[in-house]
Amino acid sequence: MIYIKVAGARAIQQDAMPMRSSDIDRVKALPLFSAASDATFRDLTAGGFLQKFPAGTTLLTEGDTVDFLYVLLSGSVELGASWNDKETTLAILQPVSTFILAAVVLDADALMSARTVERSDILMLSGEALRRGMREDAQFGFAVSRELAGCYRGIVRSVKNQRLRGGMERLANYLIQQQAHHGGGKSFSLPHEKRLLASLLGMTPENLSRAFATMSEYGVTVSGPLVTIAWPGALERLAKPDPLIDNHRRLGEIPSGEAQREQRPMAGEFHEGGQSY
Amino acid sequence: MIYIKVAGARAIQQDAMPMRSSDIDRVKALPLFSAASDATFRDLTAGGFLQKFPAGTTLLTEGDTVDFLYVLLSGSVELGASWNDKETTLAILQPVSTFILAAVVLDADALMSARTVERSDILMLSGEALRRGMREDAQFGFAVSRELAGCYRGIVRSVKNQRLRGGMERLANYLIQQQAHHGGGKSFSLPHEKRLLASLLGMTPENLSRAFATMSEYGVTVSGPLVTIAWPGALERLAKPDPLIDNHRRLGEIPSGEAQREQRPMAGEFHEGGQSY
DNA sequence: CTATACACTTGATATTCATCAAGTACGGGA
DNA sequence: TCCCGTACTTGATGAATATCAAGTGTATAG
């Protein structure tokens, strides 16, 4: 894995791509943007540009000032943090997701680092334009509030998961969530390398490995990235999933946008995508 | 300590007090409400009522549907969560703070329980009116977004504190934060009982007690609620405080509202209050 | 004043988790 | 094809934390 540090937004913009109309349509379809007026949306996308990044690119380091809202269109992005030579992963984003919205809204420094896990297409929208749009377009501002509220609730779930559960329980719930995410079948493939998963679950790679080994007592077998759950009941008794911590949604039921993932399901169509964790 | 479960909003409203004009002024002065138009603010406060609660009252249990935005005007409130017979404290609020804003914005169930720690005056504002105000008043909606962004960043700091630091380090940083909060002198008084503090710091009361005992090696002496820091340098070397985790502000520098606590200091006056943790 | 409740402390022990140190398996590049 | 880097595993050990079981002290109710 090669790690590339992006020097800054100026440097990025040099080889930025113009937004294709299909990309614009995907963004416009996001709950965050669908309520925006045409004028607001034009203003937002006018200063925006699309950029492709290879795997392992650091987009943003914690403490950096944030000038853009990022929208992940394809690939995946890790949000992490570090202190005193320790590191941890706070979230792994899947398309279509926005990130560092809170820092943009407050025009504040980033509290998390962002790094591509795979080759990714990322849309960058002017933070200044976003704040202007919020002040001028109440419908858009409302959508931003809902997105932020969804992000907040997502991380509250994460704190509860971390503080109330042990490592085995976190892994068990993660597996149940992934199983649902992949359609509910007995077998599925882990979406990330195990050391990244370990960091996301707040444990060391060694302990994740041992936890997987112990999982055989609950009917879980692992072969490379392939996980098979033979006795769902046993795993569920271990995991004790709780709708106030875990936000399970089956494939096809996964709306994009944090607000939509948090809100009670409504009538109307959903979009593909969804955030891991 | 006697625990009282409030049956529901209907029951509360029976012995609710009308809002005094001094209370209205305090609320209007909050960053969350100061940008609202007079019409929006009137609509918000029209359906609002003030209520006094004794210590130990459960205002809200996780999973409850949320009909009101709560504003703590005096006293203090614990936000907590539980799973599988374990409990943890996610925050302890001081006046003037709002809480469960995210659930209100999304019209979703509460993910946290709320309980008064001391006798508290709490203002309850209609969630429906709040959402209406956001959709109609872009300036107010912007203020809500900023408040939510501040809440989000606050809990991101909390996750980093929890996952990257050990118990001693968390306590050391808490003491440094409290010292700053109390004006920077050598001695100050802990604002909560130690078992509540332990829960906030994510440890058992026994381990907090031991951690305090070990702190004597770093020049910290504890006598009841009174803490004295003899060698600030030694404690600081242990704590390694980081502006990307800890949000220290001296007394008199503490603005109210999550957005203001997160944003870089601006020109202009601040208000009293502030949130623990 | 005494009794009781409860917060807090302290010690012994168990469990969980991290660290250090191998070793194995797999894949890309020469 | 072999080589080498890296992810992953497994074991041994140690540190951090939780649990259980006393104690002490203090404040309040009777």
In a domain, B261, yes or no: no
Asked if the Cβ–Cβ distance from A82 to B164 is below 8 Å, we say: yes
Residue B102 CA to residue B105 CA, distance in Å, equals 5
Span A106-162, pLDDT tens digits: 999 999 999 999 999 999 999 999 999 999 999 999 999 999 999 999 999 999 999
Residue A198 CA to residue A221 CA, distance in Å, equals 17
At which residue do the structure tokens 């503090």 appear? B197
Structure tokens that stand for A201 in this block:
């679950």
Looking at the fold, whether A129 and A208 belong to one and the same domain comes out as no
Span A16-72, pLDDT tens digits: 777 778 878 889 999 999 999 999 999 999 989 999 999 999 999 999 999 999 999
In angstroms, the CA of A69 and the C1' of D14 are apart by: 45
In a domain, A146, yes or no: no
In a domain, B150, yes or no: no
Structure tokens that stand for B158 in this block:
């909390």
Nearest Cα residue to B277 out of B225, B209, B199, B219 = B199
Q: Taking a C-beta distance cutoff of 8 angstroms, is the pair A97, A154 a contact?
A: no
Sheet holding B57-60, edge to edge: B4-5, B57-60, B113-116, B77-83, B86-93
Residue count (chain A): 277
Contacts of A141 in chain B (CB under 8 A): 134, 138, 141-142, 145
* Count of Cβ atoms closer than 10 Å to residue A155 Cβ: 21
**Mean pLDDT estimate for chain A:** 89
Asked if the Cβ–Cβ distance from A83 to B153 is below 8 Å, we say: no
pLDDT of residue B76: 97
Torsion sign, CA atoms A79, A81, A85, A86: negative
In a domain, A204, yes or no: yes
Per-residue pLDDT at B220 exceeds 70 = yes
pLDDT of residue B275: 37
Which positions of chain C lie under 7 Å from any protein Cβ? 6-12, 16-21, 26
Using CA coordinates, name the residue in chain A closest to B261.
A106
At which residue do the structure tokens 């009137």 appear? B42
CATH number at residue B175: 1.10.10.10
Q: How far is CA B125 from CA A155, A168, B13, B39, in A?
A: 25, 41, 12, 15
Looking at the fold, whether A120 and A243 belong to one and the same domain comes out as no
**Residue A63 identity:** G
Looking at the fold, whether B7 and B70 belong to one and the same domain comes out as yes
Looking at the fold, whether A13 and A125 belong to one and the same domain comes out as yes
pLDDT of residue A253: 66
In angstroms, the CA of B204 and the C1' of C7 are apart by: 13
Q: Is the Cβ atom of B100 within 7 Å of strand C at any atom?
A: no
Looking at the fold, whether B196 and B102 belong to one and the same domain comes out as no
Per-residue pLDDT at A4 exceeds 50 = no
Span A80-91, pLDDT tens digits: 999 999 999 999
Pairing of strands B226-229, B220-223: antiparallel
Per-residue pLDDT at B227 exceeds 90 = yes
Of the partner residues A82, A108, A262, the one whose CB lies closest to the CB of residue B263: A108
At which residue do the structure tokens 């209050």 appear? B273
Last residue of a domain, one of A136, A155, A186: A136
Span A183-203, pLDDT tens digits: 999 999 999 999 999 999 999
Contacts of A152 in chain B (CB under 8 A): 102, 148, 151-152, 155
Residue A269 CA to residue A251 CA, distance in Å, equals 14
SS3 track for A40-63: HHHHHHHCCEEEEECCCEEEECCC
For A32, phi and psi rounded to 5 degrees?
A: -65, -30
Looking at the fold, whether A26 and A98 belong to one and the same domain comes out as yes
Residue B246 CA to residue B156 CA, distance in Å, equals 11
Mean pLDDT across the stretch B144-170? 98
pLDDT of residue B22: 82
User: Which of B46-50, B194-198, B266-270 has the lowest average pLDDT?
Assistant: B266-270
Chain B contact present for A158, CB below 8 A: yes
Mutation target vs B (from A111, A131, A199; most B CBs, 10 A cutoff): A111
Residue A124 CA to residue A120 CA, distance in Å, equals 12
Contacts of A108 in chain B (CB under 8 A): 153, 262-264
In a domain, B146, yes or no: no
Question: Strands, E, within A97-237: which ranges?
Answer: 97-99, 113-116, 120-126, 187-189, 220-223, 226-229
In a domain, A148, yes or no: no
Asked if the Cβ–Cβ distance from A103 to B149 is below 8 Å, we say: yes
pLDDT of residue B10: 43
Span B35-45, pLDDT tens digits: 999 999 999 99
Q: Taking a C-beta distance cutoff of 8 angstroms, is the pair A64, A145 a contact?
A: no
Interface of A with B in 208-227 (CB under 8 A): none
CATH number at residue B125: 2.60.120.10
The whole-angstrom distance between A150's CA and the closest CA on chain B is: 7
Looking at the fold, whether A66 and A171 belong to one and the same domain comes out as no
Q: Taking a C-beta distance cutoff of 8 angstroms, is the pair A123, A103 a contact?
A: no
Structural domain that includes position B170:
165-250
Map residue A120 onto helix, strand or coil: strand
Looking at the fold, whether B86 and B171 belong to one and the same domain comes out as no
pLDDT of residue A30: 94
Mean pLDDT across the stretch A223-243? 97
Q: Is the Cβ atom of A225 within 7 Å of strand C at any atom?
A: no
Structure tokens that stand for B24 in this block:
């209205």
Last residue of a domain, one of A117, A136, A155: A136
Using 50, 70 and 90 to split pLDDT, how confident is the model at B261? confident
In angstroms, the CA of B56 and the C1' of D28 are apart by: 18
Looking at the fold, whether A176 and A114 belong to one and the same domain comes out as no
In a domain, B257, yes or no: no
CA torsion, ordered B166, B167, B168, B173, to nearest 10 deg: 90
Q: Is the Cβ atom of B191 within 7 Å of strand C at any atom?
A: no
Q: Taking a C-beta distance cutoff of 8 angstroms, is the pair A31, A260 a contact?
A: yes
Looking at the fold, whether A116 and A209 belong to one and the same domain comes out as no
Return left, alpha or beta for A79; rule: phi > 0 is left, psi -120 to 50 is alpha, else beta.
Answer: beta
Q: How far is CA B229 from CA B122, B195, B206, B220, B236, in A?
A: 35, 21, 21, 5, 10
Q: Taking a C-beta distance cutoff of 8 angstroms, is the pair A97, A78 a contact?
A: no
In a domain, B158, yes or no: no
* Count of Cβ atoms closer than 10 Å to residue B204 Cβ: 13
pLDDT of residue A14: 52
Per-residue pLDDT at A256 exceeds 90 = no
pLDDT of residue A177: 97
Asked if the Cβ–Cβ distance from A259 to B103 is below 8 Å, we say: no
Looking at the fold, whether B47 and B171 belong to one and the same domain comes out as no
In angstroms, the CA of B210 and the C1' of C10 are apart by: 9
Chain A contact present for B134, CB below 8 A: yes
Residue B191 is given by DSSP the state S
Q: Is the Cβ atom of A202 within 7 Å of strand C at any atom?
A: yes
Q: Give me the number of domains chain A comprises.
A: 2
Which positions of chain D lie under 7 Å from any protein Cβ? 6-12, 16-21
Q: Which nucleotide is nearest to B86 (CA to C1')?
A: D18
Looking at the fold, whether A74 and A131 belong to one and the same domain comes out as yes
Per-residue pLDDT at B272 exceeds 60 = no
Per-residue pLDDT at A248 exceeds 60 = yes
Last residue of a domain, one of A89, A117, A136: A136
Of the partner residues B83, B141, B156, the one whose CB lies closest to the CB of residue A111: B156
